[in-house]
Structure 1
Amino acid sequence: MPRFKLAKNRMNLLIDKLQNRFDPETLEQGWEHYHKGFVAKLTLQHGYILHAIVHGVEPYDVKIDLEQFERSECTCPSTGECAHMAAAIFMAYTAHGRPELLLIQLKHTLLTRTKAVRAAGRAKSEEHPMIPGPGDLPAQWHKVFDQRFYGFTLSHQHSVDTFYSAAVDSLLPFAQTWNEGIRSLYRLHIYLFILRKIDDFHQTHQTTYLSTYHVAGSRNAAMRALQEITQWTKQADPHPISRQHEGHWQDTIRLVREWSLRGKPGPVPWLDVYRTLWGQWFEQVEEPTKERHRLKHMLGPSGLPSRQEDILRLALAHFDISGGDDETAIHSLNRLHNRQIGDFLFVLQQLHQAEAPDRLLRWLRWLLPLMPRLKQDEFHTLCGYWVEAMKHQPSDEEWIRVMIAMLPRSYTYYTDYLMKHGRFRQWADLQLANSVDPANLYPDEIKAVEASDPELLLPIYHQSVERMIQEKTRLSYKTAVRLLRTLHLLYEKLDRLDRWQLYIELLSDKYSRLRAFQQELQKGQWLS
């Protein structure tokens, strides 16, 4: 319970904001944060700022303005009202009553309101079903799309893939008789609509038991739609559309900007949608100067959510990168609140496809501090780009330093590189440093090293024999003896059987008290 109690009129104001500005899923998440004790250091600052630290993926700083609620903010990636704000309000309510009862009251109010709105919308939709026309601007098309899929929800019977197919199959036929240019633009907006709805589904289902089931499907469907958009940009000619349908053209640019730059978390890679359409389509006609000016204007107001500010900076940097000015882009992006690798995979892919290895390497160097904390698939993706970039460099020393610094995560890439370049001594040192068992090495690698220098394998087998003996089980002793057979063959190939004999005698003497091991040595006929 907080050490202070808000005035009743201010608490009522916050309750009103909860039921008018927060959706049920956000309220539920906020309650979970409060209930699990994630709210810390709730204080009242200056008499009108409710301040709290709410722990999520990391501690988030929440400030709720009791006089101008619209100026409230949270340092989490979400935009607008978030679960951390709701959690702070639930904590403040503990001085007035039981937060769990408040949650029930709020959910009941929201549920009643939602049912009434849906019933009215459904009746209107059934009475006057709208049809898109070629003269309508894209914003009107989307109103039609929304009406025709009003109330569509996901379940095990209605998956994201079901919605995807239904949207394409039911909406495309309306444009069959339109002229080619406007019909092509209409097709783009169907895929943009699909992406918008995927975002809506994510917001609706992320706190339900279906969330895990739908997250993967939503991401796959979003990537599929992005691929369709990318392919569409390669086929559709923007020049006749921009000349003959200027209103549609400008409305499309406006809508793409509006949807892509909000910075809301979700399965849709909106930033990549923006960069794809600008880089491969809009820029064929539009001079980016006006768009850059708009982005700078959007960045102007202070108090933007940190994630939205980052998205705007990334969008601005796109134009510098597409113009080959990496230095300006990097200088600007050094001001990001949170550098996320997912925001840069698009850039790396574009530079790789453009066969610009020097520029690719520059961005990889800039992203290097992120690599230790990447997910495994992201780490492998960046390693792949490093391999491609280094193919065009006169020396591989930088690549070696990076791989060594990233061990053990970079083991697969580093060992493969050493084998391909015949650096067998470094390869052997790597196996020793990581205590790799010979059984876990590829037979082809062992054969290649043995053919080059069998002596390099000796310490690897010696280390493994010692490790097996130290386990002190009958099975590990048997394994050790099998390794000794391979060691004997290596010594024989090196014509050093005298050293082998000395080694086996010293090994037997060192572990003379291990009766079971001595028995296995005798079975293997290593003791006379």
Structure 2
Amino acid sequence: MSELAIDWNHWTGRIRSFFDSTILERGWKYYRDGVVRAIETEGTSVVKARVSGSSSYKVHLDLKAFSKSTCNCPYGAKCKHMAAVLFKVAEQEGYDPKEFRNPKQTSSKTSPKFDLSSKKAVKLPKETDSCEAWVTYFEKQYANSRIYNAFSMEELYMRAWGQLNKLADDWEPAIRGIYDIQVNLYLMKLCNALMQSKSGVYDFFYNAEYFFAKIAKHSRERLHTALWEINVEKAQTKYSAHLKEIGAYLAGFMDAEAFNSQRQWYDLYKLLWSELLNEKNLVTDELTRLRSIVAARRPESYGHEAAVMALAHFDIMSEEDENAWERVTQECSSIVPSDWFGYLKIFLQEEQGERLLKWLRWLGPEVQKDAAHYASDYLFFWQEASRYMDVEGEHRQAMVTLLPASYRDYSSFLFQKKEYKTWADLCLLLNLTPLQISAGELQLVEKADPRLVLPIYHYAAEECIQTKNRDAYREAVKLLKKLAAAYKKLKQTSRFEAYIQYLVQEYSRYRAFQEELQKGKLLP
């Protein structure tokens, strides 16, 4: 560890800002439990280690460009495993890990005072402030932010999240959770605005979609964490004014200029209104607002369609599924199947079989329009429904309807049923060759009934021959040898020999093919 060059002020000021306090606490527990193993260094700034949790995870830290650090755990952002390694490295390098855990406890010699802004007149957010006051502070810190490439947008988000999150470390848990939610919404809005400001630069905007998706994923994870830890009943009783402000701020996302990513908005909207904001008076006011937007009859506006989707969500929450489906089919320009998969997951988890089937039937024609994107997820729900309901016939029909996108699902289904003849017919229908078919599946069918694979090999061999190049001819010979083995198992070698003679005559002009037959010893 002696090779590392440690700038402790950089650690406690810059690197720590990548982590929220909850992740640091979890990382601290891992560090104290002694599960950080196999620490290695490369040069003066790279650390590699393993952390044993529910599994063993690989951590790679770049202390100079920390945003590039990674862990192969499912968390997807700066995680507790990375924090645990940092605590351990600090200890081995002679620093007090507690100072990294909470810089507010550090001495003036080892850690600088935390100051987000050089403008000392700006007051930090307080526990007693309104959401509006918090946002005013956020705006003063970040409204004039500039980004120069797509990666810097994600870096800004992570830095701002870490800086703002730590300000509420000592707050009462319920208001702390509300504060974290407001931080998330503000940063999502900020990043969207920054991305839109670069929309005229194709390369930037194209890459920004990827980074914005990562930001949205992290935001959802943070919101889930906040909602998991918050006492919703206490929040609704004691902080109703804050929740009303959150609802109003979320409503502002209806504005296309403020938040131009409808799908990301809808995910946040559903999450918050399903849990934290699901209070009678708040819901009544929101429904009134949404209905007024829809009643304005401006279908061409972003706000109109977003309001329709929101009303459909409230319909589903009230188990008025028919109303929800009627709204979206009549009022929305298109139906994106993935918008509804989250509901299907809930129906599945809560064993609401009839609701699940109803939505699967409704969504079928929409999935069929873009089966390549949605078939796999859609059929997963059919498969799960089949486990505890007698819907095998409908499940099968759904797979057939979505072919060829559903080939893998339908193939697995047929193998489970040992319907090998139907499987072989399916391969021929889709013009699949052995190169496109699982070798294990092909071997299993051949073992069960060699006759079923004969048409597949015949078709594939002639497809190769008609490609008319040397490599294809070699591949054709390989297939013909497998065909010969299948005929031999059936004790029909004479039929194979007759077929070879047919090929020789049919493709007599293909000299290279004739040569490959001789090399493969398929000709006398």
Partner residue, 1:254? 248
Q: Give the Cα separation in 1 of the matches to 2:512 and 2:242.
A: 84
> For residues 47-67 of structure 1, what are the alpha-carbon distances to aligned partners after superposition, in whole Å with 9 as ceiling and x for unaligned?
xxxxxxxxxxxxxxxxxxxxx
Q: Contact between 1:223 and 1:268, CA under 8 Å: does it hold in 2?
A: no
Partner residue, 2:198? 205
Mean CA deviation greater in 253-262 or 363-372: 253-262
Shift of 1:237: 1.0
Partner residue, 1:152? 145
> For residues 68-87 of structure 1, what are the alpha-carbon distances to aligned partners after superposition, in whole Å with 9 as ceiling and x for unaligned?
xxxxxxxxxxxxxxxxxxxx
Q: Give the Cα separation in 2 of the matches to 1:451 and 1:158.
A: 53
Partner residue, 1:165? 158
Shift of 1:125: 9.0
Paired letter, 1:217: F
Partner residue, 1:333? 328
Shift in CA distance, 190/424, structure 1 to aligned 2, threshold 3 Å? same
Q: Contact between 1:164 and 1:194, CA under 8 Å: does it hold in 2?
A: yes
Partner residue, 1:312? 307
For 2:273, which of 270, 278, 281 is the aligned residue?
278
Partner residue, 1:233? 227
Instruction: Verify: 1:224 aligned to 2:193, yes or no.
Output: no
Shift in CA distance, 210/525, structure 1 to aligned 2, threshold 3 Å? closer
SS in 1 for 2:466: helix
Shift of 1:429: 1.0
Shift of 1:200: 1.1
Q: Contact between 1:130 and 1:147, CA under 8 Å: does it hold in 2?
A: no
Shift of 1:366: 1.7
Shift in CA distance, 157/499, structure 1 to aligned 2, threshold 3 Å? closer
Partner residue, 1:449? 445
Partner residue, 1:179? 172
Shift of 1:440: 2.5
Paired letter, 2:191: I
Q: Give the Cα separation in 2 of the matches to 1:378 and 1:415.
A: 17
Instruction: Verify: 1:269 aligned to 2:264, yes or no.
Output: yes
Unaligned 5+ residue runs, structure 2? 1-116
Q: Contact between 1:222 and 1:267, CA under 8 Å: does it hold in 2?
A: no
> For residues 361-401 of structure 1, what are the alpha-carbon distances to aligned partners after superposition, in whole Å with 9 as ceiling and x for unaligned?
32232222322443844443333333333444424232333
Unaligned 5+ residue runs, structure 1? 1-123
Shift of 1:248: 1.8
Instruction: Verify: 1:409 aligned to 2:402, yes or no.
Output: no
Paired letter, 2:221: Q
For 2:126, which of 123, 129, 133 is the aligned residue?
133
Paired letter, 1:204: S
Q: Give the Cα separation in 1 of the matches to 2:403 and 2:172.
A: 58
Q: Give the Cα separation in 1 of the matches to 2:455 and 2:263.
A: 51
Instruction: Verify: 1:214 aligned to 2:223, yes or no.
Output: no
Tell me the TM-score normalised to structure 1 length: 0.70
Q: Give the Cα separation in 2 of the matches to 1:173 and 1:504.
A: 77
User: Could you say which structure has the greater relative contact order, defined with CA pairs below 8 angstroms and 6 or more residues apart?
Assistant: 1
Q: How does 1:13-24 map to 2 (within 5 A)?
A: none
Shift in CA distance, 336/303, structure 1 to aligned 2, threshold 3 Å? closer
Shift in CA distance, 491/137, structure 1 to aligned 2, threshold 3 Å? same
Shift in CA distance, 278/484, structure 1 to aligned 2, threshold 3 Å? same
Q: Give the Cα separation in 2 of the matches to 1:125 and 1:379.
A: 53
Partner residue, 2:94? none
Q: Give the Cα separation in 2 of the matches to 1:317 and 1:292.
A: 11
Q: Give the Cα separation in 1 of the matches to 2:150 and 2:470.
A: 55
Q: Give the Cα separation in 2 of the matches to 1:161 and 1:343.
A: 25
Superposition CA RMSD, Å: 2.7
Paired letter, 1:339: S
Partner residue, 2:425? 429
Q: How does 1:303-382 map to 2 (within 5 A)?
A: 303=298, 305-341=300-336, 342-374=338-370, 376-382=372-378
Q: Contact between 1:198 and 1:268, CA under 8 Å: does it hold in 2?
A: no
Q: Give the Cα separation in 2 of the matches to 1:195 and 1:321.
A: 26
Q: Give the Cα separation in 2 of the matches to 1:267 and 1:339.
A: 13
Shift in CA distance, 435/171, structure 1 to aligned 2, threshold 3 Å? same
Shift of 1:261: 6.9
Instruction: Verify: 1:481 aligned to 2:481, yes or no.
Output: no
Q: Give the Cα separation in 2 of the matches to 1:435 and 1:481.
A: 19
> For residues 388-422 of structure 1, what are the alpha-carbon distances to aligned partners after superposition, in whole Å with 9 as ceiling and x for unaligned?
33444424232333322322222222223222322
> For residues 90-137 of structure 1, what are the alpha-carbon distances to aligned partners after superposition, in whole Å with 9 as ceiling and x for unaligned?
xxxxxxxxxxxxxxxxxxxxxxxxxxxxxxxxxx99474243223321
Shift of 1:467: 1.6
Paired letter, 1:292: L
The alignment-based identity, stated in percent, is 27
Paired letter, 1:170: Q
Q: Give the Cα separation in 2 of the matches to 1:306 and 1:393.
A: 42
